[in-house]
Amino acid sequence: MLKLLITRPIAAPVLDQARTKFDVTLHEGGAMSVSDCATALATYDCILPTLGDQFTAEAFAGDIRAKMLGNFGVGYNHIDTQAAAAADVIVSNTPDVLTDATADIAMTLLLGTARRAGEGERMVRSGAWGGFDVKGLLGTHVTGKTVGIIGMGRIGQAIAARCHYGFGMNVVFHNRSPKVTAVPAQQLDGLHAVMAAADFVVVATPGGSETTKLIDAAALAAMKPSGIFINISRGEVVDEIALIEALETDQITGAGLDVYENEPHVPDRLRALDNAFLLPHLGSATAETRQAMGQMALDNIIAWAEGGDPPQRVN
C-alpha cells in the first residue's frame, strides 16, 4: 500500500475512505515546519497537506520519495509549486467546493462592517448597552452602494452575485485579464480606479508572489474616506501596516478581515481598532465545505495513485 500522510484531522468519512486505499499516517501537532515538510517528502508516497504547512523550495531540496501533494484548500501559496514540479511532485487543490462558503464570509464582513456588528456585539456583552438608541452605532446602508471587487475569479463572481442580486449593489471590479461576467458588473481600468469608485472594496485575488502587497498605501489612499476595506483572500495581498495606519487616522472608515499577513499573529494595533471587524480565517469553515474539500483532496490523490491525472492539478 502507498504511504499517505494527512497533516490535519479531516472529516471521518473521508479519513475512513483514505484508510481503505492507503497506509495512512496522521500528523500530530498542527502546522508543519520546513523541516517537517522535508522529512514528510522523504518518507511518504503522497501527502494531504493544508495552509500553514511550509512546503518551500528548501523543503523540496533533499531526498524526495513523495510524488503527489493533494492540498486541502484552494489557495496553495504555502507550496512552492515550481520547486515541486522540479522535484517531479504533482500538486492539486480544491477549487469550487468552497466558493459559496467563502463568498458568504465576504458578505458577513461586508454587512458586519457596514452595520457595526462587532462593536454592537461587544457593547451587549460588556453590559454597556443602554437601550434602543436613535443615534447610536449608526452604520451605512449597503443597498444602492458600490462594491469594488479585486480579483474576479470564481469567488469574486460569487460575491458579485450576492451583492447585486441579494443587496441591490452596483458592482465594479479589477482583474488581471479582461473578464466578461454573468452578473452585471463593470471592469474598470486599473486597481486605483476601483479603489476610488467603491464604497466597499473586497479583495478576492489568489495569494502568491504576483499579488504580494498589491494593496499598498497608495491603493488605500485612493479609497473614499467613507470606504470600507474587506479581505477574504490572503493577508500577504495587503500591506498590513499601511492598512492599520489608514484605519488609525480615519483615512478610511473600516475594515473587515478574515486573513492576516502572519497568521495566526494579528498585530495588537489592529486588535485595538474598533473600526476593524476581525475573523479567524473562516472562509471555508462550514462542516459541509470542509468535508467536500477533504473529499476533493483525497479524490485527486486517488486519481494519481490509480495512474491518472489528478483533475485539480495545479503544476
**Would you tell me which residues interact with ligand GLV (CB under 6 A)?**
51, 73-75, 98, 283-284
- What are the grid coordinates assigned to 6, written together? 494527512
C-beta closer to ligand GLV: residue 41 or 292? 292
C-beta closer to ligand GLV: residue 50 or 113? 50
Neighbours of 213 (CB within 10 A): 14
Which listed residue (8, 174, 234, 290) is catalytic?
Answer: 234
Run of H or E including 125 = helix 117-126
**Residue 269 is among the residues annotated as catalytic for this protein:** no
How many whole angstroms from its chain centre is CA 288?
17
- What are the grid coordinates assigned to 298, written together? 483525497
Spell out the SS3 assignment of 41-89.
HHHCCEEECECCCCECCHHHCCCCCCCEEECECCCCCCECHHHHHHCCC
The angle at the Cα of 137, spanning 135 to 140, to the nearest 5 degrees, equals 95
Neighbours of 256 (CB within 10 A): 28
Which listed residue (58, 119, 245, 263) is catalytic?
Answer: 263
Neighbours of 81 (CB within 10 A): 19
Q: What is the smallest separation between the CB atom of 51 and ligand GLV, expressed in angstroms?
A: 6
CA–CA separation, 241 vs 247, rounded Å? 10
Q: What is the smallest separation between the CB atom of 274 and ligand GLV, expressed in angstroms?
A: 23
Size (the chain), residues? 315
**Residue 234 is among the residues annotated as catalytic for this protein:** yes
CA–CA separation, 288 vs 293, rounded Å? 9
C-beta closer to ligand GLV: residue 98 or 185? 98
Q: What is the smallest separation between the CB atom of 125 and ligand GLV, expressed in angstroms?
A: 20
C-beta closer to ligand GLV: residue 91 or 246? 91
Q: What is the smallest separation between the CB atom of 265 and ligand GLV, expressed in angstroms?
A: 17
CA–CA separation, 114 vs 310, rounded Å? 42
C-beta closer to ligand GLV: residue 253 or 284? 284
Q: What is the smallest separation between the CB atom of 196 and ligand GLV, expressed in angstroms?
A: 28
**Residue 263 is among the residues annotated as catalytic for this protein:** yes
What is the set of active-site residues?
234, 263, 281
